[in-house]
Amino acid sequence: MVIGVPPVFEGLTRELGKIVEQPLLGPKAKFPPATFGFARKDVSGRRKPQAIAHRGYKAKFAENTLGAFKGAVEVGADGLETDLHLTRDGVVVLSHDKDLKRCFGRDEKIIDCDYEFISKLRTLKEPHEPMPRLSDLLEYMAQPGLENIWVLLDIKLDNDADDVMRLIGDTIGSVPPLPSRPWQSRIVLGCWAAKYLPLCSRYLPGFPVSHIGFSTLVASHFFAVPNVSFNMAHAVMMPWDRLFIRKAQSDGRPVYAWTVNKECHMRWDIRHGLDGVVTDDPKLFVQVRDSWHEGVKDGVSVTAWLDVLRVNFFCLIYTFLFQLKFGFQDKEIITLQAGQCGNSVGQQFWQQLCQEHGINKDGNLEDFATEGGDRKDVFFYQSDDTRYIPRAILLDLEPRVLHSIQASPYKNIYNPENFYIHKDGTGAGNNWGMGYSMGEQVHEDILDMIDREADGSDSLEGFMMLHSIAGGTGSGLGSYMLERLNDRFPKKLIQTYSVFPNTQDGDIVVQPYNSLLSMRRLTQNADSVVVLDNGALTRIAADRLHVMNPSFEQTNQLVSTVMSASTTTLRYPGYMHNDLVGIVASLIPTPRCHFLMTSYTPFSGENVEQAKTVRKTTVLDVMRRLLQPKNRMVSTNPTKKSCYMSILNIIQGEADPSDVHKSLMRIRERRLATFIPWGPASIQVALTKKSPYVTSSHRVSGLMLANHTGIATLFKRIVAQYSTLRKRNAFLESYKREVPFKDGLGEFDEAKEVVQGLIAEYEEAEDADYLTKETAPTDEAEDKRAG
């Protein structure tokens, strides 16, 4: 039976079974099963575990050296296990430790050293050998005669997740495999944390994945991801987690145990049908395995059982500390609100977040807000008087909107030092060039605010910008700040919520100019852009809220609802999609194609009688409606080739994983979504709780974040409208007076070229040979996470 859950883990188990990722129209799973990793039959037909050499033949050789790996193969190891770290110059090396002290007698950290320096070091243990690269091990495995040797890669958490996964992918791709055995059939990616799963799909598609851990409680979450195998600390499976082993075996998932060096424990693993034993002494295990039969007793002594219990106790403590560091740690996001639209939307967003977290208008926690389980610190910090203050910086070049916020009922929640109003207060006159030029003049003051907020964060993950691209401040100042954020925080994610103009009925005559110039920065300087356009917002307000001429407040409420829903998994975390990098990585397969569209249902207006929902909401109903074009908050004109690159549905409310699975199967049967021909055809689903402090009129609600090639049609309209104005040289004089255009109008030409390249990228993504096409070099700024 499974041991009872200690109170310290209640937060971990609350979401057990709440994360679902199922295929829609494609193969059974993103991660293929590691069929080569199952136990193998001996001459008697009995399945026995494979011998997996822990860091090579560690009992005899210096660990993680080529000598240790070759020695393991010579004594009959079936597989190898090794650990990965990065050097300063991006070389993937084999080392368990993050520093050089234990194995090489040096105090330096590996990440602080170039490989040229490391390659000259030799192990303290004889025979003295250098630290190998991953490429060295793969070149050894690519020799004829070693076809059946496979390797389990233990990907350490000390390096930047995106960097290490990308460089592992590059390294594997640089070493030709044996013709008969591609690397996908010989390499298992070992991941400790769920955030690595989308990165595995992104950088190493088609490779099997194994969860490495020391808690079956944590490991149970990974049953929600098809075909993930398990590499668990041996002690936690003795004596009370045999149920976990049976569950994995019934699911057809390999189970390995680490690190097993006692003969009695080896026999226990053989008896219980494990698929592999990770051991320092593969020679000893092969001998024990080959001599084992049903009549052999395990011989686990009382002392050995006491050792198991002792290790379990330390695993329990270490699991808690591990989760604090890697699992549910608050990763803060700083919000920048630029211009009239950005600040108006932001005002609604913060009001909604306060209500959802039980925070009153003065920033104090309400007496009834005692349930917990939320992560307020992602978007708020606590001041010395324990009030919750938004991590928000409010920027405008004219005072009207910010003054209204400072006089609003929620005025006391903001940090007064985080308001920036230009001293002249004249605004940017709906001119991108003026907003950009003023940004150049005042950026130091704004960056001081940003630095102060960043310094006050324990684990800053990134930035979220709210703005419009049609006017002057949100587009021009917003563009300038995107560039500066990229320069100042090159490793932090930048996501924007960008409101595009109504291209059919815009109220700013120069909005095509402003939009095109902003689009260049959104393409080159943002990691993720959530696109919302005023035309779609007006249409949805008319259709769903039955308001023919919606006010700015009503359309802003639609945007803030989407923002609130899209951040729910960050604020009420499950075991996947609980940080920004996990969401971005799962939705964006290539750096430039990072423009996302949204759908939300059901919208309801509690103050509008006709808008009150009367239908019964179900998971199937919500997921079906999310796919309907009329519910998209972007006005597009998809072609027959238009298709989804990725979908993440965030479902809130009374939803069961089995309902989600049935709904996905129904959607598949009806072929309600078409996916790219070169990638996984799957809808990812995250189930998350609703705020207990906000009354809802519906049982289930849902948000779809989708990467869809049809969004290129919106960009085409912007380019077409720009070209029409430019041919007439209309309204250019006001731009020529600004700094970006002092040497001519080349800024326009460069922006048009970037946007046309983006359009071409989305159109090429509709073709089956997209990944093999010759593409233009990617601007370094387009994917700073790769740098």
Q: Say yes or no to pLDDT of 776 above 60.
A: no
Model pLDDT, residue 59: 96
User: How many Cα atoms sit within 13 Å of 366 on the Cβ side?
Assistant: 14
pLDDT in tens, 291-325: 998 777 766 666 665 665 565 555 555 555 555 55
8 Å CB contact between 500 and 533: yes
What sections of 323-431 are H helices per DSSP?
A: 339-356, 400-406
% pLDDT > 70, the chain: 87
8 Å CB contact between 419 and 343: no
Angle formed by the axes of helices 552-566 and 339-356, nearest 10°: 60
What sections of 76-178 are H helices per DSSP?
A: 101-104, 115-118, 134-141, 161-174
Q: How sure is the predictor about 728, in pLDDT bands with cuts at 50, 70 and 90?
A: very high
How far the first Cα of the chain sits from its last, in Å, is 48
User: How many Cα atoms sit within 13 Å of 671 on the Cβ side?
Assistant: 1
Model pLDDT, residue 213: 85
pLDDT in tens, 513-535: 999 999 999 999 999 999 999 88
Angle at 123 between CA 117 and CA 126, to 5 degrees: 150
Angle formed by the axes of helices 263-271 and 282-291, nearest 10°: 50
Domains contained in the chain, number: 2
Q: Do residues 234 and 260 both lie within one domain? A: yes
Residue, of 781 and 98, whose pLDDT is higher: 98
Residue, of 368 and 706, whose pLDDT is higher: 706
CATH number of the domain enclosing 198: 3.20.20.190
**CB atoms near residue 293 (< 10 Å):** 8
Helix (H, G, I), strand (E, B) or coil at 324: helix
Model pLDDT, residue 24: 32
**CB atoms near residue 316 (< 10 Å):** 17
Q: Could you tell me if residue 370 is inside a domain?
A: yes
> Which tokens go with 301?
């002594």
Q: Say yes or no to pLDDT of 286 above 90.
A: yes
Q: Do residues 348 and 316 both lie within one domain? A: no
Residue, of 780 and 263, whose pLDDT is higher: 263
Q: Do residues 282 and 340 both lie within one domain? A: no
Report the mean per-residue pLDDT for the chain.
Answer: 86
Question: Distance (Å, rounded) from C-alpha 440 to C-alpha 253?
Answer: 57
8 Å CB contact between 21 and 221: no
8 Å CB contact between 136 and 65: no
User: Can you tell me the mean pLDDT for 265-287?
Assistant: 94
Q: Do residues 314 and 422 both lie within one domain? A: no
Helix, strand, coil shares, percent, the chain, to 5:
45, 20, 40
Question: Distance (Å, rounded) from C-alpha 316 to C-alpha 309?
Answer: 11
> Which tokens go with 428?
């940017």
> Which tokens go with 382?
């606590």
Q: Do residues 264 and 387 both lie within one domain? A: no
Nearest CA to 339 out of 226, 276, 447, 431 is that of 431
Q: Convert 157-191 to b/e letters by CB count within 10 Å (16 or more is b).
A: eebebbbbbbbbbebbeebebbeebebbbbbbbbb
DSSP structure class, residue 26: S
Q: Do residues 313 and 388 both lie within one domain? A: no
User: How many Cα atoms sit within 13 Å of 645 on the Cβ side?
Assistant: 30
pLDDT in tens, 674-698: 999 987 777 888 888 888 898 877 8
Q: Which residues contact 3 (CB under 8 A, 6 or more apart)?
A: 240, 241
Q: How sure is the predictor about 787, in pLDDT bands with cuts at 50, 70 and 90?
A: very low
Q: Do residues 260 and 279 both lie within one domain? A: yes
Q: Do residues 303 and 364 both lie within one domain? A: no
> Which tokens go with 404?
């209204």
Q: Could you tell me if residue 155 is inside a domain?
A: yes
Question: Distance (Å, rounded) from C-alpha 333 to C-alpha 315?
Answer: 31
Model pLDDT, residue 6: 33
Model pLDDT, residue 555: 86
Q: Say yes or no to pLDDT of 326 above 60.
A: no
Q: Which domain holds residue 418?
A: 330-597
DSSP 62-81: -TTSHHHHHHHHHTT-SEEE
Model pLDDT, residue 777: 41
Question: Distance (Å, rounded) from C-alpha 563 to C-alpha 570?
Answer: 12
Domain boundary among 574, 597, 620: 597
Least confidently predicted of 232-246, 396-410, 546-560 = 232-246
Nearest CA to 641 out of 618, 682, 690, 674 is that of 674
User: Can you tell me the mean pLDDT for 780-785?
Assistant: 41
Helix (H, G, I), strand (E, B) or coil at 483: helix
pLDDT in tens, 54-90: 999 999 999 999 999 999 999 999 999 999 999 999 9
Residue, of 616 and 338, whose pLDDT is higher: 338
Q: Which residues contact 740 (CB under 8 A, 6 or more apart)?
A: 433, 436, 437, 747
Q: Do residues 308 and 345 both lie within one domain? A: no
Question: Distance (Å, rounded) from C-alpha 102 to C-alpha 83?
Answer: 15
pLDDT in tens, 220-246: 777 777 789 999 988 777 655 567 888
Domain boundary among 552, 568, 597: 597
Q: Do residues 282 and 366 both lie within one domain? A: no
Q: Do residues 318 and 455 both lie within one domain? A: no
